Structure 1
Amino acid sequence: MEYEDIGQSREWEDIEYINKGWSDDKKYKIKTRENEELLLKISDIGQFAKKKKEFEIIKDLEEKKILMPKAVDIGVCNNDQSIYSLYTWIKGEDAAEEISKFSEEEQYKLGVNAGRYLKEIHSVNAPKSIEDWESRFNRKIDKKIENYKKCGVVLKDEKKILEYINKNRVLLKNRPQCLQHGDYHIGNMIITPERKLGIIDFNRYDYGDPWEEFNRIVWSAEVSPEFASGYINGYFDDDVPELFFKLLLLYICSNEISSVYWAQSFGEKEMNVMIKQVDNVMEWYDQCDSYIPKWYHK
Structure 2
Amino acid sequence: MRSLTEEEIISHIPELSNVTLRKITKGYSFDLKYVTEWNGKNVLLRLYDLDLSERVQEKVEKMEAFKKLGVRCQDVYAFGEVPEENFCYTIFSFLEGEDGEAALANLTTEEQCAAGYEAGLDLNHMHELRIEASMKEHMAFIQEKFEKAVERYSRLDQQIPYGRKIIDYVRNNIRLIGESRLVFAHHDFHAGNLIISQKKYAGVIDFNRCGVNTAYSEFDKLELFSSRLSIAFSKGVIQGYFNNRVPELFWKIRSVHMAQLLIYHMNWVTDYFPKDLPQAKDAIQYVWEMYEGFHRTIPKWYEERQA
Deviates more, 1:72-81 or 1:278-287: 72-81
User: Unpaired runs of 5+ in structure 2?
Assistant: 1-7
- Farther-moved stretch of structure 1 (266-275 vs 94-103): 266-275
Q: Is the 8 A contact 1:134 1:174 kept in 2?
A: no
What amino acid is aligned across from residue 2 of structure 1 in structure 2?
I
Residues 285, 194 of structure 1: alpha-carbon distance in 2 compared, 3 angstrom cutoff: closer
Q: State how far apart, in whole Å, the 1-side matches of 2:172 and 2:135 are.
A: 25
Mapping of 1:91-110 within 5 angstroms? 91-110=96-115
Identity %: 25
Alignment TM-score, normalising by the size of structure 2: 0.90
**Equivalent in 238, 258, 270 of residue 264 of structure 1:** 270
Partners of 1:199 and 1:119 lie apart in 2 by: 12
| CA shift in 2, pair 1:163/1:81, >3 Å | closer
RMSD of Structure 2 on Structure 1 (CA): 1.9
Deviates more, 1:131-140 or 1:203-212: 131-140
Aligned to 2:288: 282
Tell me whether 1:246 sits opposite 2:225 in the alignment: no
Q: Is 1:133–1:175's contact at 8 Å kept on the other side of the alignment?
A: no
1:214-256 per-position Cα deviation (integer Å, ceiling 9, x unaligned) = 1112211011111111111111111111111111111111111
| 8 Å Cα contact 1:48/1:83 also seen in 2 | yes
AA in 2 matched with 1:109? A
- Work out the number of aligned pairs and report it: 296
1: CA distance, partners of 2:198 / 2:82: 34
1:111–1:230 contact (8 Å) kept in structure 2: yes
**Amino acid in the other structure paired with 1:291:** T
Counterparts of 2:56 and 2:273 in 1: how far apart (Å)? 30
Q: For 1:104-132, what per-residue CA distance to the aligned partner results, in whole angstroms no more than 9, with x for missing partners?
A: 11111111111111111111133246763
Distance 1:294 1:91 in 2: 34
State the match for 2:171 in structure 1.
Answer: 166
Shift of 1:20: 2.1
Query: CA contact under 8 A between 1:31 and 1:38: conserved in structure 2?
Result: yes
TM-score, with structure 1 as normaliser: 0.93
Which of 2, 24, 28 pairs up with 1:22?
Answer: 28
- Equivalent in 15, 19, 35 of residue 8 of structure 1: 15
Matching of residue 181 in structure 1 with residue 191 in structure 2: no
| Matched ranges for 1:206-217 at <5 A | 206-217=211-222
SS in 2 for 1:271: helix
Aligned partners of 1:189 and 1:198 also within 8 Å:
yes
CA distance in 2: counterparts of 1:19 and 1:244, whole angstroms: 35
1:71 partnered with 2:89: no
- 3-state SS of paired residue (1:73): strand
Distance in 1 separating the partners of 2:178 and 2:33: 40
Equivalent residue letter for 2:178:
K
SS in 1 for 2:148: helix
Whose helix fraction is larger, Structure 1's or Structure 2's? 2
Task: Output the amino acid matched with 1:53.
Answer: E
SS of residue paired to 1:276: helix
Change (3 A) 1:3 1:81: farther
1:39 aligns with 2:44: yes
Q: Distance in 1 between matches of 2:273 and 2:82?
A: 35
Asked if the contact 1:134/1:175 (under 8 Å) is kept, the reply is: no
Mapped contact 1:3–1:77 kept (Cα < 8 A): no
- Report how far residue 297 of structure 1 moved: 4.1
Counterpart secondary structure, 1:295: helix
Counterpart of 2:158 in structure 1 is 153
SS at match of 1:140: helix
